Amino acid sequence: MSKSNPHNLHSKTDLPVTVRAALSIWVPILLAALTAVLLPPDTTNSGPLAIAPIFAVLGITSWFMGLLWYGLSQMGLRGQRPLFSSIGFAVLLWITFLLFRFIFVKMEAFGRGGIAGQTFIYLLLFEAFAVQIWAFGLVFRTLAEWRGALTAAFASGILFGMVAYLLFQESFNGSVSSLLYFLLWGILYGIIRLRTGSILGMVLVQSLQSFTAWTVLYPEAQPAPEQLQSLYLAVSVVYLIILWRLWPKQESDYRV
């Protein structure tokens, strides 16, 4: 992996980078877990907003920690060329998933009527922005300074994948193929963050990917396990190919 702090990254605080690395991972997680204990999801409400407070605390905590230590730009909140590059790479993953979604998972209906708008806002603000500002904003930036940018891409991607596997509304089962898919999705997003320097495009495309695949094209009940397994395995194979193609060839390709 890359040498520690190869890009001469600097922060606004005198806290040692090892301390910041630990805090960036655990403080948002612990506060989100505390929120889950104090405000457990309403089991009578099957809507996506039931778990929103947990994601909200994760994102808000990461936002303020990142602003205090680094500022907007170093948290991956960049527009213009980085934004459009981020969108372009993330769209490859969206198209791949949507194509195999059509092939492997039966569509029982088209659209969800009145809850569609509410679902998209949830996906954009909570599953996409809140989780990414933590994983690919705060954690990525801190680990890039401590252990190098490539390590940061992998580690933040794994964190994103685990949260997605455990908490995202599109995680329908606990199979190995499902875990593989979510981890690869996260690592690819980590590489896109590394290559472009922006998370904004990924935030937008992630919410669109989840919205189109599981809200616009949705099953009446939980999809059959064999359909999901085929979907996740097929997408994972293609994601591995995309990962190979996006892999940065030299350190000058990094945009931390």
**What's residue 1's pLDDT?**
43
Q: Which residues of 22-55 are buried (b: 16+ CB within 10 A; e: fewer)?
A: eebbeebbebbeebeeeeeeeeeeeebebbbbbb
Query: In terms of residue numbers, what domain contains 67?
Result: 17-253
**What's residue 252's pLDDT?**
81
Q: How many domains does the chain have?
A: 1
pLDDT digits (tens, 9 = 90+) for 186-198: 999 999 999 999 9
pTM for the structure as a whole: 0.92
**What's residue 13's pLDDT?**
85
For residue 8, tell me if it sits in a domain: no
**What's residue 111's pLDDT?**
58
Helix (H, G, I), strand (E, B) or coil at 8: coil
**What's residue 2's pLDDT?**
42
For residue 61, tell me if it sits in a domain: yes
pLDDT digits (tens, 9 = 90+) for 83-115: 999 999 999 999 999 999 999 988 766 655 556
The CA distance from 226 to 237, in Å, is 17
- Of 204, 167, 188, 199, nearest to 62 by C-alpha is 199
pLDDT digits (tens, 9 = 90+) for 51-60: 899 999 999 9
- Which residue's structure tokens are 């455990």? 166
The CA distance from 125 to 115, in Å, is 16
For residue 221, tell me if it sits in a domain: yes
Q: Decide if pLDDT at 7 tops 80.
A: no
